[in-house]
Amino acid sequence: MSDTGTGTEAEALPREAPPLEDRPRDTLPQEALARAEAAPPLLPGPGQPPGSGPEGTTAVDTAPEPAESGEAPGLGSFLARAAAGTAVLTVLAAVLGLVRDQAIARYFGASDASDAFLIAWTVPEMAATLLIEDGMALLLVPAFSLALTRRADAEAAKGGGGGGGPDADPVRELVAATLPRLCVLLMAGAALLMAGAPWVVRVLAPGLADPDLAVDCTRLTAVTVLTFGITGYFSAALRAHRSFLPPAGVYVAYNIGIIGMTLALHSAWGVRAAAAGVAVGSLLMILTQIPTLLRLLPLARPRLGRLRKRASRTAPLLGLTVLAPVVLFVVSRQSQVLVERFLASTLPAGAISHLNYAQKVAQMPMVLSLMICTVTFPVVARAMADGNHEKARQRVERDLALAGMVVLLGTSVVLGYAPQIIEVLFQRGAFDTADTEATAQVMRVYAAGLLGHCLVGALSRPFFSSGRPTWFPAFAMGTGLLVTMGAGYALTYRFGVAGIATANAIGISTTALLLLMGLGTRVVPIRARAVALSLGRLAGAALVAGATGWAAAQLVPDAVLSLAAGCVLVPAVFFLTGLALRSPEVVSLLALIRRRFTDGR
């Protein structure tokens, strides 16, 4: 799947669709959305009979066939292709992330140096969540969706002529009204962080053995406040235009930058080379998206007077009343990491590193599951902008079921084969057997909270999809953070890093439960009980599969062979148990696969 979007298509869509082979494959024409969004799902929603689509028709039988005479493909087919392309790049980024972590573990192990780098890495981790993923996306995808709706309405009012010039384009006006101000704020934030790095390190890790090294690394990584902000802005704009490949590729570029700098300069700069790699990789993230962005949003210079008159109309979703709850939610969510590292800094050297490696690997299934929600978030935002709450409900329930199945399958693998995973990935160089055992123990505890992390990511998007101020996600996340802090202080000094991981799982699960109960009554009328029942069946399958893997892992002494066998055994047990528990998602997925093979497609 290639990205070949053009500025002409983004500016004004004609009434007659161009031939299908001439169209961008990761964008969807606006005039096709109304009928395309009615495409049935590949899998049923929670509580829906397996294999059934709307009005009792089967999802497989009613799936839209390839369009003839140049008609645009259905939204279901488009989302499947977009999710597949995003999945490929996400997996590639995850693999490169593992290579990055392996390089850091090989050269610095779990030591004072790696702890100092990870404290400095807290800055880009926080910036990534706030400026690339949750924060910027939750604010700007609805804003760009509304601007695109206004553009389409204006074109329809003109009879599809595509006139009006650049000054009349709500999308360009939104960019001109927001991007320059954002860049100024981000540059000021990066400069302030560089100047205040010593204070930041003292607050984040008061017990750190080498604070000066952490200060140097923090100053190198502070540039990500600017670069991640621009990356997040570009990603939101592209996703709103149904262009998902460049945003999915930014972490590939990011990890390449870190790996390259670490390999090239570790002997001369030590762990500072990895911190410099963070800065270089963040610049590559911007460059990855610029070509596609310029095709979809050609540069324009609207007149200042007209821009001021329309700024409040083109960016109504970016006011302080909408911005504040989003920022508070994202900061509260990322603060769980701050709490963990604050507590771990009082433990023996290497504790922060063990937590980091365990968390990075354990959360890979969660990252893969959330790509579904990332691709469909613009659809939910568009449905909310159009006032179609029923369409939004169906989409959200479908996403929760699919994301839950992916993350729980990954959870069962982590539970069964954590020691083998860590040994294969990290046990070399300065990372020894003791580090493997400690990290694997923490990773299994983290796995208990993976479903909670997935649900928080999936449920937060619908809350902010309408662009109206809502404080409930921040309240739920703040409550979960308080639970994490209380449990962390109670468990850390008795159970060490395992106690910190337990507190994380309890806190994030509390937040997920609150969001699940609150979404149906406040934003999208999802059937919370049906969703919970569906996820409960999948969780039961994950527990059985994980326990089976845990027992079987001991039978094969070689870590590589044991893990390879587990990658076959655990999914098989997961799906068989799902069938026995009559999980609609598992039943429907297996029926779909069987139908595809039977039909020879």
What b/e string do you get for 204-221 counting C-beta neighbours within 10 Å, with b at 16 or more? Answer: bbeebebbebbbbbbbbb
pLDDT tens across 107-136, in order?
A: 888 788 888 888 888 888 878 877 887 667
pLDDT tens across 498-531, in order?
A: 999 999 999 999 999 999 888 866 677 788 888 8
Helix (H, G, I), strand (E, B) or coil at 222: coil
Mean pLDDT computed over 398-418: 91
pLDDT tens across 62-103, in order?
A: 333 333 333 344 555 666 676 677 778 878 888 898 889 888
Relative orientation angle of helices 389-426 and 528-553, to the nearest 10 degrees? 10
pLDDT at residue 591, as a whole number: 78
Q: Is pLDDT of 414 > 50?
A: yes
Helix (H, G, I), strand (E, B) or coil at 52: strand
pLDDT at residue 79, as a whole number: 62
pLDDT at residue 525, as a whole number: 79
3-class SS letters over 98-155: HHHHHHHHHHHCCCHHHHHHHHHHHHHHHHHHHHHCHHHHHHHHHHHHHHHHHHHHHH
Nearest to 325 by CA among 444, 168, 470: 470
Q: Is pLDDT of 162 > 60?
A: no
pLDDT at residue 576, as a whole number: 94
Tokens of 171: 């999308």
Q: Which residues contact 32 (CB under 8 A, 6 or more apart)?
A: 17, 71, 72, 75
How does DSSP assign 422-460, residue by residue? HHHHH-STT--HHHHHHHHHHHHHHHTTHHHHHHHHHHH
Please list the residues that pair with 58 across neighbouring strands.
Answer: 52
Residue with tokens 């990075």: 360
What b/e string do you get for 68-101 counting C-beta neighbours within 10 Å, with b at 16 or more? Answer: eeeebbbbbbbbbbbbebbbebbeebbebbbbbb
CA distance 575 to 564: 18
276: left (phi over 0), alpha (psi -120 to 50) or beta: alpha
Q: Is pLDDT of 350 > 60?
A: yes
Residue 450 has φ and ψ, to the nearest 5°, of -65, -40
pLDDT at residue 337, as a whole number: 81
Nearest to 503 by CA among 329, 359, 369, 407: 359
Question: What are the angstrom distances between the C-alpha of 178 and each of 227, 296, 466, 506?
Answer: 16, 17, 19, 38
Nearest to 502 by CA among 453, 446, 543: 446
Per the CB < 8 A criterion, the answer to whether 51 and 587 are in contact is yes
Polymer length in residues for the chain: 601
CA angle 495/500/506 to nearest 5° reads 110
Would you place residue 159 in the very low, low, confident or very high pLDDT band (cuts 50, 70, 90)? low
CA distance 530 to 516: 11
Please list the residues that pair with 52 across neighbouring strands.
Answer: 58
pLDDT at residue 83, as a whole number: 67
pLDDT tens across 45-62, in order?
A: 444 444 444 333 333 333
Residue with tokens 């001369």: 268
What count of Cα atoms within 13 Å lies in the side-chain half-sphere of residue 27?
27
Question: What are the angstrom distances between the C-alpha of 449 and each of 17, 84, 414, 460?
Answer: 46, 26, 12, 17
Residue with tokens 């095709």: 295
Residue with tokens 């609207």: 302
Q: Is pLDDT of 466 > 70?
A: no
Mean pLDDT computed over 13-37: 39
pLDDT tens across 270-295, in order?
A: 999 999 999 999 999 999 999 988 88
Helix (H, G, I), strand (E, B) or coil at 58: strand
CA distance 399 to 393: 10
User: What sections of 38-74 are H helices per DSSP?
Assistant: none
Tokens of 90: 């996400």
The radius of gyration of the chain's CA atoms, rounded to the nearest angstrom, is 24
Per the CB < 8 A criterion, the answer to whether 375 and 27 are in contact is no
pLDDT at residue 168, as a whole number: 60
More confident residue, 559 or 65: 559
Per the CB < 8 A criterion, the answer to whether 449 and 505 are in contact is yes
Tokens of 348: 């023996």
Q: Is pLDDT of 546 > 90?
A: yes
Q: Is pLDDT of 545 > 90?
A: yes
Instruction: Report the first-to-last Cα separation within the chain, whole angstroms.
Output: 19
Tokens of 202: 């003292």
CA distance 176 to 157: 24
* Amino acid in the structure at residue 9: E
Helix (H, G, I), strand (E, B) or coil at 525: coil
CA distance 413 to 537: 17
pLDDT tens across 297-345, in order?
A: 765 454 444 444 444 444 444 555 667 777 788 788 878 888 888 888 8
CA distance 538 to 412: 10
Average per-residue pLDDT for the chain: 77
